[in-house]
Chains A and B, each alone.
Chain A
């Protein structure tokens, strides 16, 4: 999971595709349109078309498809238990539920893999309370501060004979104390961050704004696709 977040962050900040040039708002509009279509459709074939569209978008964004699919499959694995419990004996029900899971999560991966996190969280911070808007920004930022320390700690634990996978009780003991260390590190780090915020003149809002609403010609791609997807979903629903 830790490496997933680091990988997605790398894709978002180093890409140069039209999707990366488009504004965060336009891509959010496309994701909303995609989710609308995914939720309203009841036909596995239509879901297949939507999945193909998202995969094509990921390919044009030059996001590695294998890694993106692995990320997207994660909720599908979790949903499979739920799908098993709801199985009515037909192939359409599991196909529909798992297809919806995969299409929705790949749409989210497309958004985060092409949008640097300050641009992604800035519009969210505009419409949510400070605890959520600034909390998202600070959590993401703190996570990267923690990432290397956590990775080094897990490696050190393995090298010293902890987390070997040979005994769950022993592994849990080391994991627990290791996480205790991370908690203390986070406390100290949050105090340092607070001091830095004060020095830099923090006025009650962490501003993560950069280019999230800088509209350009590249926005035509996500906005155009959003219109097409919503129109197709509405027309399909009307003709059924």
Chain B
């Protein structure tokens, strides 16, 4: 819910190329770190990325759906969680639900939230039960994704065509203003999404902790 299905041709070329390079670099690092993993980690990655896809079938109003990224991040950890976000975005892009050229950027936005979920969950576990810790992780994860999206869209507003249209001396202000306008339009949907994601994450993780606690970090 807190990520955006940015489509092809909407963002400037250098920006989505940078997104592809950044996502590729992160995946290369994660691949290197997990090079000696047993194949069951790969099977688990595929299975949980598939759960993320299935969870996205739960609609949250006209502009959103459940994401389930925080729970996947908690279960897989930051590195594999980021890869799961990339896989989901790649499959969604192939289905026309988002751009192919912006898979890297979409993955960075969703993956940033997925990657932060487990550290936040672990920190919260020192004081709270698994369900409440997962809710805290989900809210933090959503906010990190929104922050990543803010950065992407502000950088998009700094493209030459936009800057040329702005008054001299006010280019950066114009970029920030148009991004702020976007966030004002989208924030009600994000607030709803954050709350929904927190409740669902708390319940799903609470359920897992009651039935199979050994699966949680």
Interface size bracket, A side: 35 or more
Which residues of A from 138 to 156 have beta carbons under 8 Å from B?
Answer: 138-143, 145-147, 150, 154
A130, B42: Cβ atoms closer than 8 Å: yes
Known: A193-B43, A194-B40. Is A172-B196 also a contact (CB below 8 A)? yes
Supposing A109-B95, A187-B212, A189-B47 touch, asked if A101 and B200 sit within 8 A by C-beta, the answer is no
Per-position binary interface string of chain A over residues 7-33, scored 1 when its CB falls under 8 Å from any chain B CB and 0 otherwise: 010000000000000000000000100
Contact yes or no, B200 A39, CB < 8 A: no
Interface 9-residue window, one of A173-181, A208-216, A217-225, A231-239: A173-181
Q: Let me know if A72 is at the binding interface, CB within 8 A.
A: yes
A-B contact count (CB 8 A): 260
Q: Which residues of A contact B206 (CB under 8 A)?
A: 176, 180
User: Is B116 engaged at the interface, CB distance under 8 Å to the other chain?
Assistant: no
B90 interface residue, CB < 8 Å from A? yes
Chain B CB within 8 A of A106 CB: yes
> Do the beta carbons of A82 and B182 come within 8 Å of each other?
yes
Main secondary structure of the interface of A (DSSP, over half): helix
A136 to B85, CA, bound (A): 11
In the assembled complex, the CB of A113 is this many whole angstroms from the nearest CB of chain B, namely 9
Inter-chain CA distance A31–B101, complex, in Å, is 11
- Contact in complex: B50, A139 (CB < 8 Å): yes
A139-B50, A177-B203, A179-B55 known; A190+B10 contact, CB < 8 A: no
Least CB separation from B65: chain A residue? A1
Given A85-B181, A189-B47 in contact, is the A176-B9 Cβ separation under 8 Å? no
* Minimum C-beta distance from B129 to chain A (A): 15
B203 A183 Cβ-Cβ under 8 A: no
* Interfacial chain A residues near B43, Cβ < 8 Å: 138, 142, 190-191, 193-194, 197
Q: Which residues on A sit within 8 Å (CB–CB) of B68?
A: 179
Assuming the contacts A175-B58, A177-B204, asked whether A39 and B13 have C-beta atoms less than 8 A apart, the reply is yes
A85 lies within 8 A of B83 (CB): no
How far, in whole Å, are A179 and B96 apart by their CA atoms in the complex? 25
Pairwise interchain contact A143-B8, C-beta atoms closer than 8 A:
no
Q: Are B185 and A175 in contact (CB under 8 A)?
A: no
Q: Does B110 contact A (CB under 8 A)?
A: no
**Alpha-carbon distance between A168 and B196 when the two chains are bound, in angstroms:** 9
> Do B5 and A75 have beta carbons less than 8 Å apart?
yes
CB distance from B113 to the nearest CB of A (A): 17
CB <8 Å contact, B7 and A173: no
Contact flags (1/0) for A119-138 with B, using CB distance below 8 Å? Answer: 01000000011111011111
A104–B91 CA distance with the chains assembled, in angstroms = 15
Answer yes or no: A111 CB below 8 A from chain B CBs.
Answer: yes
- The answer to the question of B123 belonging to the interface, with a C-beta cut-off of 8 Å to chain A, is no
On whether the beta carbons of B207 and A191 are closer than 8 Å, the reply is no
The answer, among B8, B38, B86, B91, for a CB contact under 8 Å with A101, is: B8
A100 cross-chain contacts in B, Cβ below 8 A: 7-10
User: What are 6 A-B pairs with beta-carbon distances under 8 A?
Assistant: A2-B57, A78-B98, A85-B178, A104-B8, A129-B31, A183-B204
- Nearest 9 Cβ contacts at the A-B interface: A176-B203, A138-B46, A100-B9, A180-B207, A104-B8, A85-B182, A101-B7, A105-B96, A186-B47
Contacts A5-B95, A186-B51 aside, 18 further interface pairs with beta carbons under 8 A come to: A1-B97, A35-B101, A39-B8, A71-B97, A74-B97, A75-B5, A79-B6, A81-B186, A82-B4, A82-B6, A82-B153, A134-B46, A135-B84, A138-B43, A138-B47, A176-B201, A177-B204, A186-B48
